[in-house]
Structure 1
């Protein structure tokens, strides 16, 4: 059975504020729904391991979110995430980074996960991310010494969406700017529109509305 590694944040706040945060639930659950439907397994991991913070668990009318959140296997894995130090990257065929603001404070600059992701990509693995998830691609440096993003076209949560969401003054850094400076190309569509870019084995989605499309592209890449 194919398996996807899902690194998530240990940081449960929005930047340095006291606002509860972490991983944004629908960006995780909608992708997991598609993975499990396709018979693809997954592990949830984090830098420190253990229980990880998740928000957006009370969205009305999101049946998929509710279904995955109530799944016993999911609850066990999200309450007992695997610490990065215990991972064997050879066990996985893809890495998926869900969004949420928490990872801007840890995964966006974590060398341990970045080294695993570089090894994974250079041995044929797939990298996927949605919304703020592409921040975790920033520290990935290939064996050539070049940043992964230096040759990739990507998308992610936009400046306009930060303004709409009233987080522009609270984020540790503006993701759009960082990607525009580091990636070969950063692209976006109108705020909150579904948008996915697939560049070789790197799949990125702009916002929560793009989670389903990222999951679909990931499944298709894994079963190809």
Structure 2
């Protein structure tokens, strides 16, 4: 029986008070999904409130074949329209939890008690917690069983303050993710704006931006393989 990875996406649909639509970033779901399935994992989708989610319209680049593959997959899109709630899931049941990005995460990830419980149970049970781009918004308030912040003392990356300014969202998001990570005691590593950066620190894997999504997912797979030799990739 294949092992399982949980992909968590935002269910938040409005970019602050701007009235502009937002959601999850398509390639930050489509690329990791491909990596995880190629490695032999079953994937489950979750969102903070459960139920319907939507991709950020600005991320629907169909020139990316993996985006088109996801968007044209009726089963996957149905799953993303009927996501599980965190409270319905057991964090210890997943080899890894992967928090996809998209600006919506900045509103519905940080303060969600159910997500914090999933993170704590997954990590404290010896499994992998991972996130890319704005997905690390789920980590800023996450704590371990001993009460310490998960990211404290760890090497991480995320969508940077410079990148947020470059996309002109720094005055719209409720906080700057890189700055908040530093406030929580993380050591934040960054590539030049929109370059690839992935950090692995113990069983925490983070990626900086959409360009880092595939490499972040591959780092998750490699980490799981190294810690659990029962996982067998498809030929």
TM-score, length of structure 2 as denominator length? 0.91
**Residue in 1 aligned with 2:112?**
110
C-alpha contact 2:5 2:41 (8 A) present in aligned 1: yes
1:201 aligned residue (203, 206, 225): 203
Measured against aligned partners, the alpha-carbon deviations of 1:151-174 in whole angstroms (never above 9, x if no partner) come to 211110111111211111111111
2:6 alignment partner, SS class: strand
**Residue in 1 aligned with 2:73?**
71
2:97 alignment partner, SS class: strand
Separation in structure 2 between the aligned mates of residue 191 and residue 50 of structure 1, nearest angstrom: 34
Q: How does 1:142-161 map to 2 (within 5 A)?
A: 142-161=144-163
C-alpha contact 1:27 1:211 (8 A) present in aligned 2: yes
Q: CA RMSD in A?
A: 1.3
Stretches (4+) displaced over 3 A: none
Separation in structure 1 between the aligned mates of residue 193 and residue 74 of structure 2, nearest angstrom: 35
1:26 matched to 2:7? The reply is no
Separation in structure 1 between the aligned mates of residue 112 and residue 162 of structure 2, nearest angstrom: 27
C-alpha contact 1:15 1:101 (8 A) present in aligned 2: no
1:135 matched to 2:137? The reply is yes
1:91 aligned residue (83, 90, 93): 93
Separation in structure 2 between the aligned mates of residue 58 and residue 116 of structure 1, nearest angstrom: 29
1:54 alignment partner, SS class: coil
C-alpha contact 2:6 2:96 (8 A) present in aligned 1: yes
Separation in structure 1 between the aligned mates of residue 201 and residue 108 of structure 2, nearest angstrom: 25
Unaligned runs of 5+ in 1: none
Distance 1:133 1:107, change over 3 A: same
Measured against aligned partners, the alpha-carbon deviations of 1:73-108 in whole angstroms (never above 9, x if no partner) come to 211210110112211223211100010111111111
Separation in structure 1 between the aligned mates of residue 42 and residue 17 of structure 2, nearest angstrom: 34
**Residue in 1 aligned with 2:179?**
177
Separation in structure 1 between the aligned mates of residue 182 and residue 120 of structure 2, nearest angstrom: 20
1:45 matched to 2:46? The reply is yes
**Residue in 1 aligned with 2:123?**
121
Separation in structure 1 between the aligned mates of residue 48 and residue 62 of structure 2, nearest angstrom: 31
Separation in structure 1 between the aligned mates of residue 221 and residue 147 of structure 2, nearest angstrom: 30
2:174 alignment partner, SS class: coil
1:44 alignment partner, SS class: strand
C-alpha contact 2:16 2:173 (8 A) present in aligned 1: yes
Separation in structure 1 between the aligned mates of residue 39 and residue 73 of structure 2, nearest angstrom: 17
Deviation at 1:122, TM superposition (A): 0.7
**Residue in 2 aligned with 1:215?**
217
